[in-house]
Every structure is written in structure tokens, then in C-alpha cells.
Amino acid sequence: MKVFEVVIALLLGGAALAALARRFGAPYPALVAFAGAALALVPGAPTIVLDPELALALFVAPVLVDAAFDSSPRDLRVNWRAVTSLALGAVALTIAIVAVVVRQLVPDMPWAAAVALGAIVAPPDAAAATAVLKQLRENQN
């Protein structure tokens, strides 16, 4: 039952962050990433292990479906350079920073594992691209 309560709390937290992002005009994937990092740094926070299929069904699939409905092929064609450069730059920067920080914190970890960890936590996904396109569209109007 504990996993169910945590999943419901995470979904409600995500909805609250989306509303907060809309209010301030910020991309909600950035707020979710900051909130996740802050939650991970809370001392004494419970450790919950989710089944990967559960995480896929509850979190990844709905985000991808939402991003597919929100994205515009026309906007992607018009802004493909900006979206591509932001996505690749964010991935490369995240991988590099995470790898360096992990190697500083855990010197025995091999560079390959540190880089793999950076790739795992790299932010760009369909929702992030959709948020960038929405802001580009709003700035053009």
C-alpha cells in the first residue's frame, strides 16, 4: 500500500508543479526536474522501488501521449534548429556535469559508469521538447 500512496503523491505533486509552471510561464519539465532533485536531497526520505512496468505505465506513457497531442509538426519544422540544439546541448551538458560530480563524490566509480549515469538522468524527452516549442510559439506571437 505504501507504493500506491507514494505514486498518488507523485502524481498530485506533478499536477501541482504543472499548474505552478503555467502560472509563472516556466516549462514544467524544468520544475519537475528541480523538484525531483530537491526531493532526493531531503534527509530521511523513504526509499521506494517501483516496478519498471509500473513506472512506464503510470508516468512515461501518459507524458508521451500528452506531448504527442500538444506538439505541432509545423512548429517542429519551423523551429527544428532551436529544438535540436537545446535538446542535444542539454543532454551533453547534463551528462558531463553528472559524470564529473559523481566521479568527485565516488572516486572509485569508473568514468564509463559515471557517463552512463549522466545519460540516464539527462532531461530531454518529448515533454521537454513540447514545453520549448510552446515557449517559442508564445514568444513569436
Q: 51-78: per-residue pLDDT in tens?
A: 777 776 776 677 767 766 767 778 778 8
Sign (positive/negative) of CA torsion 31, 92, 115, 126?
A: positive
Q: What is the pTM of this model?
A: 0.46
For residue 17, the SS3 value is helix
Instruction: Let me know if residue 98 belongs to a domain.
Output: yes
Q: Residue 96: its pLDDT value, please?
A: 92
Residue 85 included in any domain? yes
Looking at the structure of the chain, the number of domains it has is: 1
What letter does residue 59 receive in the DSSP assignment? Answer: I
Which residue segment(s) compose the domain that 133 sits in?
72-141
The answer to whether residue 36 sits within a structural domain is no
Side chain identity at 128, as an amino acid letter? Answer: A
Q: What is the per-residue pLDDT for 104?
A: 94
Q: Work out the mean pLDDT of the chain and round it to a whole number.
A: 78
Query: Does residue 89 sit within a domain?
Result: yes
Residue 35 reports pLDDT greater than 80 = yes
